[in-house]
Amino acid sequence: MSSKTSEEIFQHLQNIVDFGKNVMKEFLGENYVHCGEVVQLPLDFVKQLCLKIQCERPESRCDKDLDTLSGYALCLPNLARLQTYHFAEHRPILCVEIKPKCGFIPFSSDVTHEMKHKVCRYCMHQHLKVATGKWKQISKYCPLDLYSGNKQRMYFALKSLLQEAQNNLKIFKNGELIYGCKDARSPVADWSELAHHLKPFFFPSNGLASGPHCTRAVIRELVRVITRVLLSGSDKGRAGALRSGPGLRGPPICEASPFSRSLRCQGKNTPERSGLPKGCLLYKTLQVQMLDLLDIEGLYPLYRRVERYLEEFPEERKTLQIDGPYDEAFYQRLLDLSTEDDGTVAFALTKVQQYRVAMTAKDCSIMIALSPCLQDASSDQRPIVPSSRSRFAFSVSVLDLDLKPYESIPHQYKLDGKIVNYYLKTVHAKDATVMSTRFKESEDCTLVLHKV
């Protein structure tokens, strides 16, 4: 950033706002997306702010310098508060932030490792993350469970996030982080402390005793309310324009998810395909993620095609809108879902831009703000979610919608290979050993039976 001029930084920030307005608002809907605006700030103020917040920044973020030179910044609403009121609320507020990650298994025929058609990227990536020390243990969370629309699977996914939050779950009370990782090495999940914070929200006038029973009851209420909110929504948006045909979908379950493993052990059939209501944010996010039609394996050669073209005609970078502007024309080109490669740069460029948008949707977060409302406050038109002992006004917003850079594609390609190879080498090999031991045991068993 520091090598850029102020004018370039202004343009970069304006591009983020335009991308939100012209692309993400279109796909996800007006109410979920808050684009913010570029503002100019006195340099003195920025420098003081930077010093003040330095000690609060997670260690892993400190390699990224804050821009204190350009005087430009992006001003966003506080999404940990309700977005349905245009004035500050003074009622207590809870906010649950979820980074759900990629909710589908690639369906592209360009995928070379069969495993990628069975196990989702998140579940595979977990093993590499633990091996490299990013996290201490493998999470039971699988995005496909959360995106399934099936309440049981969604409960399982949310409970798994509560057990092992990593960077996928945070909970704020009145804007303050009360649960989830400040950093990679944060302490283990303490459900009783969380329940202590949440009890007044879910059991306001009830003398529910403390202890494990109370903790379980409070957590259950939280999971139910979040599930209801995630399944709610009639907000318009044009993600429907992206609806994939039956051939353009992966399997509905990930073989590594403990939920589907346990179903298989019980001899149950695979669960129903996504039952997400079309108006809800999860559904729309998934549709945008599926703009990754070819998988990185099919996309990378197309990226190389664009690169070769740019090496020959570097001045064309602007015309191709690689770094913006992210305007209506840019949006319209994203709607072309054809996968027939006619060998042109135009085709390659469309797929590259779609991939960048899909990657953005795979890495964004959902903020759910909940504020208890009085039992008789039914006159206003705000969305309300009931829990068994209280009711909440709520709002749902998306966070972190800046378009992933064109330059990150080679990194994505390498990382994909690393994730799959590590998974195949270690986990799958281990599974195979267990399987073959079991197979041997059953052979042995058969032999014994023969002897008898």
Ligand X SMILES: Nc1ncnc2c1ncn2[C@@H]1O[C@H](COP(=O)(O)OP(=O)(O)OP(=O)(O)O)[C@@H](O)[C@H]1O
Ligand Y SMILES: O=P(O)(O)O[C@@H]1[C@@H](OP(=O)(O)O)[C@H](OP(=O)(O)O)[C@H](O)[C@H](OP(=O)(O)O)[C@H]1OP(=O)(O)O
Length of the chain: 452
For residue 393, give Cα distances in angstroms to 169, 202, 238: 21, 13, 26
User: How many of the other CB atoms lie within 10 Å of CB of 384?
Assistant: 14
Q: Which of residues 5, 54, 206, 408 is near ligand Y by CB under 6 A?
A: 408
345 or 399, CB closer to ligand X? 399
Report the residue number whose CB is nearest to ligand Y.
Answer: 363
Among candidate residues 370, 384, 329, the one with its CA nearest the CA of residue 92:
370
Binds 408, which of ligand Y, ligand X, none (CB < 5 to 8 A, cut-off by type)? ligand Y
Query: Is position 400 an interface residue for ligand X (rule: CB under 6 A)?
Result: yes
Query: Is position 76 an interface residue for ligand X (rule: CB under 6 A)?
Result: yes
180 or 252, CB closer to ligand X? 180
CB of 188 to ligand Y, least distance (A): 19
User: How many Å apart are CA 408 and CA 363, to the nearest integer?
Assistant: 13
365 or 387, CB closer to ligand X? 365
Query: Is position 189 an interface residue for ligand X (rule: CB under 6 A)?
Result: no
Q: Which of residues 238, 304, 317, 404 is near ligand Y by CB under 6 A?
A: 404
Binds 170, which of ligand X, ligand Y, none (CB < 5 to 8 A, cut-off by type)? ligand X
Query: Is position 419 an interface residue for ligand Y (rule: CB under 6 A)?
Result: no
Give the chain's end-to-end CA distance (angstroms, integer): 76
Query: Is position 78 an interface residue for ligand X (rule: CB under 6 A)?
Result: yes
Beta carbons within 8 Å of 353's beta carbon, 6+ residues apart: 321, 330, 333, 334
74 or 248, CB closer to ligand X? 74
Torsion of CA 354, 161, 398, 332, to 10 degrees: 20
CB of 168 to ligand X, least distance (A): 10
Residues 308-367 binding ligand Y (CB under 6 A) are 359, 363
User: How many Å apart are CA 280 and CA 290, to the nearest integer?
Assistant: 16
For residue 424, give Cα distances in angstroms to 122, 266, 436: 14, 26, 16
DSSP result, 299-365: HHHHHHHHHHHHHH-GGGGTTTTBTB---HHHHHHHT-------S-HHHHHHHHHHHHHHHHHHH-E
79 or 195, CB closer to ligand X? 79
User: How many Å apart are CA 264 and CA 136, to the nearest integer?
Assistant: 27
Contact window for ligand X (CB under 6 A) among 71-79, 144-152, 279-287, 333-341: 71-79
148 or 285, CB closer to ligand X? 285
Q: Which of residues 9, 46, 80, 409 is near ligand X by CB under 6 A?
A: 80
CB 360 within 8 A of CB 401: yes
13 or 79, CB closer to ligand X? 79
Residues 129-188 binding ligand Y (CB under 6 A) are 167
Tokens of 205: 């006038």
User: How many Å apart are CA 67 and CA 56, to the nearest integer?
Assistant: 17
For residue 171, give Cα distances in angstroms to 179, 319, 358: 5, 43, 26
Binds 357, which of ligand X, ligand Y, none (CB < 5 to 8 A, cut-off by type)? none
Contact window for ligand X (CB under 6 A) among 42-50, 73-81, 109-117, 350-358: 73-81
Query: Is position 49 an interface residue for ligand X (rule: CB under 6 A)?
Result: no
Query: Is position 307 an interface residue for ligand Y (rule: CB under 6 A)?
Result: no
For residue 7, give Cα distances in angstroms to 11, 36, 42: 6, 19, 16
CB of 427 to ligand Y, least distance (A): 17
Binds 97, which of ligand X, ligand Y, none (CB < 5 to 8 A, cut-off by type)? ligand X
For residue 138, give Cα distances in angstroms to 127, 128, 252, 385: 7, 10, 21, 32
CB of 63 to ligand X, least distance (A): 9
Which residues pair with residue 98 across a beta bridge?
Answer: 169, 366
Query: Is position 74 an interface residue for ligand X (rule: CB under 6 A)?
Result: no
CB 140 within 8 A of CB 122: no
- Residues in contact with ligand X by CB under 6 A are 61, 64, 76, 78-80, 97, 170, 365, 399-400
- Residues in contact with ligand Y by CB under 6 A are 167, 359, 363, 404, 408, 415
